[in-house]
Amino acid sequence: MIKRTSVLFLIPLLLLSAALSGAAGRREQPSEAFSAALPVPPVLEAETAADGTKVYSMTAREGVREFFPGASTETAGYNGSYLGPTILVRRGDRVRFRIKNELEDATSVHWHGAHVPAEMDGGPHQGIETGAVWSPEFLIDQEAATLWYHPHLIPTTAEQVYRGLAGLFIIEDEHSDSLDIPSEYGTDDIPLIVQDRKFDRDGTFAYGPGMPEIMHGYQGNVVMVNGAIQPYLDADKPLIRLRLLNGSNSSIFRFRFEDGVSFAQIASDGGFLGKAVAMENIILSPGERAELLIDFGGRKRNDTVDLLAETSSGEEYRILRFRMKKSFTADASGAIDYGSPLNSIEKIPPGEASRERRFVMSSMGPGGRLTINGKRMDMGRIDERVSLGSTEIWTIENGSGMGGRMGMMNTPHSFHVHDGQFQILDINGAAPPPGEAGWKDTVLLWPGDRIRIIKRFEDFTGIYMYHCHLLEHEDAGMMGQFEVLSP
């Protein structure tokens, strides 16, 4: 547990990334800006078809943005120039999308974290050619959670996400309605998509990873929130809920608030935790989400509190400033309820598993390649066959620990599985920390880590992916396919 929150965090890659960052000709994160309000992605409006299906329309296209005043950046977005609208659905909804690709290249739209039929998943098999429209349709059949969507073609995922193609996908249900937590989207229930970027002087995104940057993941020196550099957010209420997504390509962030403002984690990737968990900081690898509650009780009007993000090489960025709109009285017991249950999570019994599999992630596969079980992704090959209705335990190992913790091949990886959520059984033999004891779809593995997960494969047959969610690794082939088959 200590290991996951602190020890390893400062070590990796410092020397190499310093050598590669080539600061000349690049824009830097301002030390203090906080002059523009945090943009909040709009909620996508649906039309309701005669049979009750909610129909959503999105267009992926290129655009232009001024992230730095006076310098324009070529971007891409859904229904806009950068990022996409928030898709807000309810459990039990039948939804259909009309996704038009107006990009110059083929793309796809994957519903990260969703339990949907394989043909609707938006993975590498569901490409949308330029000019084409893709219309997936599915039932929302999972609990309230903060999911997200992004392109998923090989090998263009990393570059397309970098240009701005990503958005949130929020599911609500009767249970989330009943919880006494902030839930006014954009007011006290705030989406935060955190992404690091590198910009050239003229404002262009400097995306072009070389071999070492593919190996270590492409890392930026500007950290944006919802596509803005150092925005502020006016806090009208003492208790704020944040839906935090690490939407970076490869940077792992440790988030904390300055001057020790207390906060709790209330949800992980796939739903609410059993109870609110008090935290001092939280680490999210690319693709992971967490919902947090922050308590501003006792702060005075015009006080500020900054949200900080620290990279694994130890640089810390001030990424968002909360400004108190009024003075908030301190509730002696605090505004966060740590006592009441938030969710009842049925632990999947390990005894239910009928099969175990092992996945070894390596940065030193054949030919210095990024591999899982020694293989690179091949769309024509099914790596694992899983039987529908079964439960399995998967052991995942980050075998990139060779050369010691300071070694050049000492790369963190993550493991993401499509087709819904799993639970973590143990991390290096120990129970997961409370913030990772709920529903997960992506898990971080530091070099040498060994993690066991348990998952049910229900409802749908077909081909799904598992992969490292460091996007440069994913595009380089650190991915495999499992097919769910009727027994």
Tokens 């043909």 label which residue? 119
Residue from 56, 467, 472, 473 in contact with ligand C2O (CB under 6 A):
467
Residue from 416, 440, 455, 456 in contact with ligand C2O (CB under 6 A):
416
> For 288, what's the count of Cα atoms within 13 Å in the CB-facing half-sphere?
28
Residue from 194, 465, 468, 476 in contact with ligand C2O (CB under 6 A):
465
Instruction: Write out the two tokens for 386.
Output: 């899983």
Helix (H, G, I), strand (E, B) or coil at 272: strand
Q: In angstroms, what is the minimal distance from the CB of 222 to Cu ion?
A: 23
User: What is the chain's length?
Assistant: 487
How far is the C-alpha of 83 from the C-alpha of 119, rounded, in Å? 24
The binding site for Cu ion (CB under 5 A) comprises 112, 413, 418, 468, 470, 473
In the beta sheet, which residues pair with residue 37? 232
Judged by beta carbon distances under 5 to 8 A according to partner kind, the member of Cu ion, ligand C2O, none in contact with residue 473 is Cu ion
Strands 391-398 and 355-365: parallel
Under the binding rule (CB under 6 A), the answer on residue 65 touching ligand C2O is no
Judged by beta carbon distances under 5 to 8 A according to partner kind, the member of Cu ion, ligand C2O, none in contact with residue 467 is ligand C2O
Contact set for ligand C2O, span 265-294 (CB under 6 A): 287
Given the rule CB under 6 A, which of 217-225, 262-270, 335-343, 462-470 is the region that contacts ligand C2O?
462-470
Q: Which is nearer to ligand C2O, 456 or 469 (CB)?
A: 469
Contact partners, residue 173, CB within 8 Å, separation at least 6:
90, 91, 92, 143, 144
Judged by beta carbon distances under 5 to 8 A according to partner kind, the member of Cu ion, ligand C2O, none in contact with residue 287 is ligand C2O
Under the binding rule (CB under 6 A), the answer on residue 152 touching ligand C2O is yes
Under the binding rule (CB under 6 A), the answer on residue 112 touching ligand C2O is yes
Under the binding rule (CB under 6 A), the answer on residue 455 touching ligand C2O is no
How far is the C-alpha of 148 from the C-alpha of 165, rounded, in Å? 11
Cβ 275 vs Cβ 342: under 8 Å: yes
Q: Which is nearer to ligand C2O, 112 or 216 (CB)?
A: 112
Q: In angstroms, what is the minimal distance from the CB of 178 to Cu ion?
A: 28
Given the rule CB under 6 A, which of 200-208, 277-285, 383-391, 465-473 is the region that contacts ligand C2O?
465-473
Instruction: Write out the two tokens for 19.
Output: 């050598």
Q: In angstroms, what is the minimal distance from the CB of 110 to ligand C2O?
A: 5
Q: Which is nearer to ligand C2O, 320 or 470 (CB)?
A: 470
How far is the C-alpha of 209 from the C-alpha of 201, rounded, in Å? 18
Q: In angstroms, what is the minimal distance from the CB of 465 to Cu ion?
A: 7
Q: In angstroms, what is the minimal distance from the CB of 465 to ligand C2O?
A: 5
Q: Which is nearer to ligand C2O, 147 or 320 (CB)?
A: 147
Q: In angstroms, what is the minimal distance from the CB of 160 to Cu ion?
A: 15
How far is the C-alpha of 5 from the C-alpha of 169, rounded, in Å? 27
Q: In angstroms, what is the minimal distance from the CB of 363 to Cu ion?
A: 7
For residue 149, which phi and psi values (nearest 5 degrees)? Answer: -135, 150
Q: In angstroms, what is the minimal distance from the CB of 481 to ligand C2O?
A: 11
Given the rule CB under 6 A, which of 214-222, 362-370, 445-453, 464-472 is the region that contacts ligand C2O?
464-472
Q: Please give the C-alpha separations between residue 343 and each of 62, 148, 188, in angstroms, as whole numbers.
A: 41, 21, 21
How far is the C-alpha of 247 from the C-alpha of 288, rounded, in Å? 8
256-260, long-range: CB < 8 A, 24+ apart: 256/280, 256/281, 256/282, 256/307, 256/308, 256/310, 257/294, 257/305, 257/306, 257/307, 257/308, 258/305, 258/306, 258/307, 258/308, 258/318, 259/305
Judged by beta carbon distances under 5 to 8 A according to partner kind, the member of ligand C2O, Cu ion, none in contact with residue 294 is none
Q: Which is nearer to Cu ion, 276 or 283 (CB)?
A: 283
Residue from 54, 197, 289, 418 in contact with ligand C2O (CB under 6 A):
418
Q: Which is nearer to ligand C2O, 67 or 169 (CB)?
A: 169
Q: In angstroms, what is the minimal distance from the CB of 422 to ligand C2O?
A: 14
| Ordered DSSP codes for 303-351 | -EEEEEEEETTS-EEEEEEEEESS--PPPTT-SS--SS-----PPPPGG
Taking CB positions, which residue lies at the least distance from ligand C2O?
112
Under the binding rule (CB under 6 A), the answer on residue 401 touching ligand C2O is no
Strands 71-78 and 232-235: unpaired
Residues near ligand C2O, by CB under 6 A: 110, 112, 150, 152, 287, 416, 418, 465, 467, 469
